[in-house]
Chains A and B, each alone.
Chain A
Amino acid sequence: MAYNGMFLPPEADPRKDGGAVGELATYRDYLTNYRLTLELKCRDLTPEQLAARSVAPSTMSLLGLVRHMAYVEHSWFQRGFQGRLEEPRPFTSPDDPDVEFNGAVGTQECVDEAFATWREQVAAADAWLDTRTDADMDAQITYNSGGDTASARDLLVHMIEEYARHCGHADLLRECIDGRTGQ
């Protein structure tokens, strides 16, 4: 592998290499880096490759992961943190709880829709995060309609670990598509 196991040279890697000061800044750096990681894992692939269930029997695909993360961003940042329960949820279906994955098909239209929706949710999440400070991290958030609560910190660390775990899935999905590893 070129570049010490990475497919991009270090100067072309858009991710930040540490150095955050403060709690919220640390979470935001990790979150941003993982969003970029998922995007990098999808780079240079055709719609068919993006939709490939390349680690069967798993029904996951890279495109399914992008759709799923759009749903996850909306679930936590809009519904969980801000209580916007009335908004339509991206990539949901009353007939299929796994429609993010099952509805991922290898067309340019499906790819464009997934990335546009994901980027829209990321931008909305970042706009809300811009209004927060370290002093908000202990705040108790009622994150579902059942009245369950958790600290803002807990939910943000959860976002990071959820992205990280799915990027682990993305690592193997990508390697099985064209052998690319790294990043």
Chain B
Amino acid sequence: MTLTGGFEPHPAGELATYRGYLDGHRRVLEAKCDGLRPEQLAAPSVPPSDLSLLGLVRHLARVEHYWFRMVIDGHLEETRLDADDPTGGFHSIAPTPESVAEAFARWDEQTAYADACLDQLTDADLGGVRRDRHGQDLTVREVLVHLIEEYARHNGHADLLRERLGG
């Protein structure tokens, strides 16, 4: 059984709550990958799905880059990570130590950027409006709650991918 575990309260305040959830989900994904060999990390262990844990790590680096760097910080002129991959980072994953190291280094880099971006925000900024690449306006709050739910959904994938690999 793969349940989401017990609820632990987060620090008071709106931004602090979002940061607590985001950090928590990053740690869950890290834990789901813990102790696995490169070929296990790259394995699509719930076929016919082509998802793998390493694909999720690559995808979430791309997601962090898009929302924090390109949308919240307004650099829409930049190119998305894995822009040449129509699956958004899920394909072309080599089951090698180099590929694993590269994916985690890139994810670490993006989460560090994201955290620095979040350090500049306060609760008063959460109603501020940003524009996404489709030209749609949305609040910083919507972006942050979206990041939490996107991580959470992918961690649901990670739960079942990992269960198939043992543990």
Q: Cβ of A55 and Cβ of B160 under 8 Å apart?
A: yes
CA distance A179 to B136 in the complex (A): 31
Chief secondary structure at chain B's binding surface? helix
In the bound complex, how far is the Cα of B164 from the Cα of A169, in angstroms? Answer: 13
* B contact residues around A23 at 8 Å (CB): 14, 126, 141
Query: Does the CB pair A165–B156 fall under 8 Å?
Result: yes
Cα–Cα, bound, A181→B51 (Å): 12
Contact of A157 among B12, B17, B51, B161 (CB under 8 A): B17
A3→B149 CA distance, assembly (Å): 22
Tell me whether A172 and B1 are in contact (CB under 8 A).
Answer: no
Separation of A176 and B152 alpha carbons in the complex (Å): 20
- Whether B142 and A18, one on each chain, are in contact in the complex, defined by CB atoms closer than 8 angstroms, is yes
Q: Are B153 and A168 in contact (CB under 8 A)?
A: yes
C-alpha spacing A69/B128, complex, angstroms: 33
A interface secondary structure, majority: helix
Residue among A98, A164, A165, A170 with the highest chain B CB neighbour number at 10 A:
A165
Q: Does the CB pair B152–A98 fall under 8 Å?
A: no
B159–A165 CB distance below 8 A: yes
Find the B residue at minimum CB distance from A149. Answer: B9
Residue of A nearest to B136 (CB): A18
Among the interface residues B25, B159, B164, which one has the most CB atoms of the partner chain A within 10 A?
B159
Q: Does A148 contact B (CB under 8 A)?
A: yes
Residue tally, chain B, CB below 8 Å to A = 41
In angstroms, Cα B46 to Cα A178, docked, is 13
Provide the residues of chain B in CB contact with A119, threshold 8 Å: none
Cα–Cα distance between A101 and B158 once the two chains are bound (Å): 19
Contacts of A170 in B (CB 8 A): 156
Give the contacting residue for A55; candidates B7, B46, B148; CB below 8 A. B46
The yes or no answer to B4 lying at the interface (CB within 8 A) is yes
A171-B25 Cα distance, complex, nearest whole Å = 18
Check if A161 is an interface residue, CB within 8 A of chain B: yes
Where the two chains meet, the residues of B that have a C-beta atom closer than 8 Å to any C-beta of A are: 1-2, 4, 7, 9-10, 12, 14, 17-18, 21, 25, 46, 48-49, 51, 126-127, 136-139, 141-142, 145-146, 148-150, 152-161, 163-164
* Chain A residues proximal to chain B, CB less than 8 Å: 17-23, 26-27, 30, 34, 55, 57-60, 98, 101, 137-138, 143, 148-151, 153-155, 157-158, 160-172, 175-176, 179, 181
Q: Enumerate 24 A-B pairs (CB-CB under 8 Å) in ascending A order.
A: A18-B142, A19-B138, A22-B127, A57-B164, A60-B2, A151-B9, A153-B17, A157-B148, A158-B7, A160-B152, A161-B149, A167-B153, A168-B157, A168-B158, A168-B160, A169-B157, A169-B159, A169-B160, A170-B156, A172-B49, A172-B51, A172-B157, A175-B49, A176-B48
